[in-house]
Amino acid sequence: MLSKKVEEALNAQINAEMWSAYLYLSMAAYCHSIGKSGMAKWFEVQFKEEQDHAQILYNYIVQRNGHVTLRPIEAVPTEWASVLDVFESTLAHEQKVTALINELMALTTAEHDFATQSMLKWFIDEQVEEEDNAQTIIDNVRMIDGNGYGLYMLDKELGARTYTQAAPLAGSAD
Ligand code: MG
């Protein structure tokens, strides 16, 4: 049985993941607007992954006989200054999400909710990857330093990213 506090925090996290999905779709649209279709593809995959994150939390609340309550998704930015800016914003956002997941972990410790803690372990590992991915791209963009051919190659490389369903959803009906 989920405590009200944990249920509320998990519902808030669903909203944060959906906001992330919306943010990344907006970043994809920005990349298209500056002719970076490969980077746009990278963000479109990111968009799908964030929806998976929300779905994992949704499925878990349902499985624990809790009540999923969906709230409004706040507006997201629609413009960035450059390719570097959009990936720096990605890293800054993921660092915020990591802090939210850490808060959730701390709450489950306080509430002695070790089942929820076990479920959240996947998110802890996922955040390490999210931050690392964004940092690696930032390093590459800095190395290229505005060089047209470098940006062309990076756009091509990021466009090769493909979506894979998150492991906790594998085998579920959706
Ligand atoms: Mg996420």
- What would the pLDDT profile of 116-163 be if each residue is shown by its tens digit? 999 999 999 999 999 999 999 999 999 999 999 999 999 999 999 999
Tokens of 1: 């049985």
Q: Ligand 1 centroid to 50 CA: how many Å?
A: 5
Q: Ligand 1 centroid to 12 CA: how many Å?
A: 13
Q: Ligand 1 centroid to 153 CA: how many Å?
A: 27
Packing angle, helices 37-63 and 114-144, rounded to 10: 170
Q: Which residue has the tokens 């500056």?
A: 34
Q: Rounded to two decimals, what is the model's pTM? A: 0.95
Q: Ligand 1 centroid to 17 CA: how many Å?
A: 5
Q: Ligand 1 centroid to 1 CA: how many Å?
A: 24
Residue 138 burial (C-beta neighbours within 10 Å; 0-12, 13-18, 19+): middle
Chain segment 78-108, per-residue pLDDT in tens: 999 999 999 999 999 999 999 999 999 999 9
- Give the per-residue pLDDT at 170: 86
Q: Ligand 1 centroid to 107 CA: how many Å?
A: 18
Q: Ligand 1 centroid to 20 CA: how many Å?
A: 7
Which of the four pLDDT bands, split at 50, 70 and 90, describes residue 1? confident
Tokens of 23: 């943010």
Q: How many whole angstroms separate alpha carbon 149 and alpha carbon 163? A: 26
Tokens of 129: 């990857």
